[in-house]
Amino acid sequence: MTDQNTQAAVPSQEQFSKLANAIRFLSMDAVEKAKSGHPGAPMGMADIATVLWREYMNHNPQDPNWINRDRFILSNGHGSMLIYSLLHLSGYDLSIEDLKQFRQLNSKTAGHPEYGHAPGIETTTGPLGQGFANAVGFALAEKTLAAQFNTEESDIIDHFTYVFLGDGCLMEGISHEAASLAGRLDLGKLICFYDDNNISIDGEVEPWFADNTPARFESYGWHVIPGVDGHNPEQIRKAIEEAQSVTDKATLICCKTTIGFGSPNKQGTESCHGAALGAEEIELTRKALNWSHEPFVIPEDLMSSWNQVENGQAKQAEWQTKFDAYKAANADKAAELVRRSAGKLPENWAEESAKFIAKVQEEGKVMASRKSSQAAIQGFAPLLPEFLGGSADLTGSNNTDWKECVSVNLQADGNYVNYGVREFGMSAIMNGIALHGGFLPFGGTFLVFMEYAHNAVRMAALMSQRVVFVYTHDSIGLGEDGPTHQPIEQLASLRATPNLETWRPCDGVESAISWQQAIERDGPSALVLSRQNLPHQARDEQTLENVKKGGYILRPALNGEPQVTLISTGSEVGLIVEAAALLDQEGINTQVVSVPCLDRFLDQDDAYRSKVVPKSSIRVAVEAGVAVSWYQLVGDTGAVIGMNSFGASAPAPELYKHFGFTAEAIVAKAKSKLQENA
């Protein structure tokens, strides 16, 4: 027997139990071999996973990157053996030997699902709630891409995003941010399964988590299916089909399950949450579930019944036929969809972006870098229909919009997201958008509020996703809003994040180049931008090209080798230019260096770095943030003028004077260091 909505034969109850138990025993065996891991969640969610993956999900194990595949996200990523078991059983390139290497060095089966380590892993999960927020991004990308590319004749983009999540995900604040926004976006292709097992690491959750979860999600505007027995396949099937039929709302399916299902002594308790069951308990579980097979052995009939290669190939072939017809009728749209889904830039990108930057240099406008960033967005947006911008309720301050942008909150085929005051949610949702493919997401907030979202920024870096984090109001130059809003340590924190490039431009030209480099980079970037106006800096053609190296000589010493090299970023570059002029007047040969991206500059070869920042000179770095980033450039004989306290509430010019960020203070420091090292 088959159901019209399913893709595999509906098994008997006896056969179903065997199929689900294959997940359970692979999971407990792998955790036991590693002596580390979380067997309880895979054992508890095995029945839900069996129904979903065998009977409803459209995916092709032979092509994990098929554009129109359904996406599956395990938000409660500690239960990683669940997805590894599913991938192996379904026919993905994940062998039984890979499962035996669970949690071992260089294995495909890391402790938590890691994007890029194994085929079929859509996102890295583990920090609870972020997978759920990623899923909102996946579903938003699907809806928006469909609105932009589907025609009346062909729904070429048409797939679901399925999510497993647990109590821990729902306790995290990010779940509120993401779910609340999702409720306003009409994400009918987002279906989430809540693993309501009442257990976390500390035990039964009732004393600290007694939310009325169905009511909570109903209040967000979700469709909620409560009271599903997560061990009853018929109830699970009915819930999935109901969820699929609701096209204007995301769905939460609340599944009551037993953690560690089948373990005679540990099921339903925290003892199976984050530790191996132990050989004795596993043997008892084998007897309880009538499983007679040795560890890591799955009978051929079960492997055959689980294998989704044939179904997956048929589903993709059916879609390919549809796409071929779509391509014949819409050649340009089809080519654009393929380009965007592959993450490739338009053929004219290099030429046109270079023209725009040259124009900005020629115009030489004086403006805040948040405004010159907006000008760059405006200049690049016509070239990049994949732009999906946004802001955490600060559009007018972050300047992340452009003239032609349209909010997806109001129009499905738009290109801008009003995220509301949800910095963490926004950042994780952008990660999901990037992972889905077809878009280049960016979103803005004040730099100081990066702290709310830093773990999502870290995840973007960990997964090497092309996401642009736009951070404005970047220093004490923010002024009157005071120390709560003035970032001090945030720049250093961003720069310390591996695989994240942080740009702090000093004028419109550096802003445009920062955007260009972020767009071209295969990984995330942070753009750190000023509230206050910044002077334009003169550059010749070679100097302009050197900006891309992250650090460069903005103004060379006037008479040979410099005695002093002044180094800065962003709004303080104008100060060191003033200070250099004063030093030159006193006969002190001074070189001015701008380092818009310290990460990029440190990646250059020694010869270039030594030319830009000569060790023979006295080096003074100036930045209105903590000094820690700059000691590696100034050496033992140099100095850093930075912040060693929080800011204060006052007009920006007064604050700069108060904290020692003046041309005169820079001159005094340079002369003092010259005297010390004479």
Helix, strand or coil, per DSSP, at residue 412 = coil
Helix (H) or strand (E) holding 203: strand 203-204
Annotated catalytic, 480? no
Q: Where are any strands of DSSP class E within 504-637?
A: 525-528, 533-534, 552-555, 564-568, 590-594, 618-626
Backbone angles phi, psi at 252, to 5 degrees: -110, 120
**Inter-residue contact 47 to 82 (CB < 8 Å):** no
Nearest CA among 516, 563, 571 for reference residue 352:
516
Distance separating alpha carbons of residues 88 and 303, to the nearest angstrom: 9
28: amino acid identity, one letter: M
Q: Under 8 Å CB-to-CB from 606, ≥6 apart: which residues?
A: none
Cα-to-chain-centroid distance, residue 470: 13
Q: Could you give the angle at the alpha carbon of 315 between the alpha carbons of 311 and 316, nearest 5°? A: 120
* Helix extents (H) in 36-129: 40-55, 80-90, 96-100
Number of other residues whose CB lies within 10 A of the CB of residue 615 = 12
Distance separating alpha carbons of residues 364 and 287, to the nearest angstrom: 78
- Rounded to the nearest 10 degrees, the angle between the axes of helix 663-676 and helix 573-585 is 60
What tokens were used for 47? 């029945």
**Inter-residue contact 394 to 423 (CB < 8 Å):** no
Distance separating alpha carbons of residues 374 and 364, to the nearest angstrom: 15
Going from the C-alpha of 54 to that of each of 23, 39, 68, 90, 188, the distances in angstroms are: 12, 21, 17, 8, 22
Q: Which residue has the tokens 């100060």?
A: 575
Distance separating alpha carbons of residues 353 and 376, to the nearest angstrom: 9
Helix, strand or coil, per DSSP, at residue 564 = strand
Task: Choose the catalytic residue: 114, 172, 177, 423.
Answer: 423
Nearest CA among 83, 70, 52 for reference residue 189:
70
**Inter-residue contact 103 to 111 (CB < 8 Å):** yes
Cα-to-chain-centroid distance, residue 99: 27
Q: Report, as residue numbers or ranges, the catalytic residues.
A: 423
